[in-house]
């Protein structure tokens, strides 16, 4: 059973909540979770900047933050926070909509929650493969900067 809470805490950009919630559920199902409680929030840059500073000591806005609150085999409690402002700013660089970019952030954050990392080139490649897998379910193909 999955409990997924959603909050849109910004008003500058349109958000397709049902699409984002479908992505959360898809990752949980495909990654083998039986139970999960996930909170998903869409924020603006000032809010995500403050949270990034407070919890990670990074003094800048970011695209996505994810926090595992509790985890055991088959069970997960966590939070994913995404920035609609950052998605809107980055989307044109990649040739898709801000809502598509936001969907990527949600999938990326969920992959962190279920155990994927992107700190090494090998880990980043594995995460990118999973992002492509999930985005394809939404008929999307991501474009990435070569150095990222």
Tell me, yes or no, whether 81 lies in a domain. yes
Tell me, yes or no, whether 121 lies in a domain. no
Tell me, yes or no, whether 123 lies in a domain. no
Show pLDDT as tens, one digit a residue, over the chain (148 residues).
Answer: 999 999 999 999 999 999 999 999 999 999 999 999 999 999 999 999 999 999 999 999 999 999 999 999 989 999 999 999 999 999 988 889 999 999 999 999 999 999 999 999 999 999 999 999 999 999 998 876 654 4
Tracing tokens 């809470």 back to the chain, one arrives at 5
Tell me, yes or no, whether 135 lies in a domain. no
3-state DSSP assignment of residue 144: coil
48 close to 10: Cβ distance less than 8 angstroms: no
The 10 Å Cβ neighbour count of residue 39 is 17
Tell me, yes or no, whether 132 lies in a domain. no
Determine the number of helices (DSSP H) and then strands (DSSP E) in the chain. Answer: 5, 4
Its domain, for residue 50, covers 2-115
CA distance 148 to 15: 26
CA distance 31 to 74: 9
Q: Name the residue among 30, 18, 122, 36 with its Cα closest to residue 79.
A: 36
Tell me, yes or no, whether 93 lies in a domain. yes
Q: Report the CATH number that the domain containing residue 69 is assigned in CATH.
A: 3.40.390.30
User: Which tokens in the block code for residue 49?
Assistant: 């900047």
CA distance 100 to 84: 11
Tell me, yes or no, whether 142 lies in a domain. no
Tell me, yes or no, whether 122 lies in a domain. no
101 close to 87: Cβ distance less than 8 angstroms: yes
**Strand order in 75-83's β-sheet?**
2-8, 35-43, 75-83, 64-72
Domain count, the chain: 1
Positive or negative, the Cα torsion across 131, 133, 137, 141? positive
Q: pTM higher than 0.85, yes or no?
A: yes
């Amino acid at each position: 059973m999955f409990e997924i809470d959603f909050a849109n805490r910004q008003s500058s950009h349109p958000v397709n909540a049902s699409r984002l919630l479908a992505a959360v559920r898809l990752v949980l199902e495909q990654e083998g979770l039986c139970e999960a409680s996930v909170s998903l929030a869409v924020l603006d840059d000032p809010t995500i900047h403050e949270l990034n500073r407070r919890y990670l000591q990074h003094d800048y806005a970011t695209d996505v933050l994810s926090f595992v609150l509790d985890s055991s085999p088959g069970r997960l409690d966590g939070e994913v926070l995404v920035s609609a402002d950052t998605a809107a700013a980055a989307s044109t660089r990649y040739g898709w909509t801000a809502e598509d970019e936001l969907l990527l952030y949600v999938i990326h954050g969920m992959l962190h929650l279920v155990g994927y990392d992107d700190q090494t080139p090998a880990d980043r490649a594995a995460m990118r493969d999973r992002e492509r897998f999930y985005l394809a379910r939404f008929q999307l193909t991501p474009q990435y900067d070569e150095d990222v």
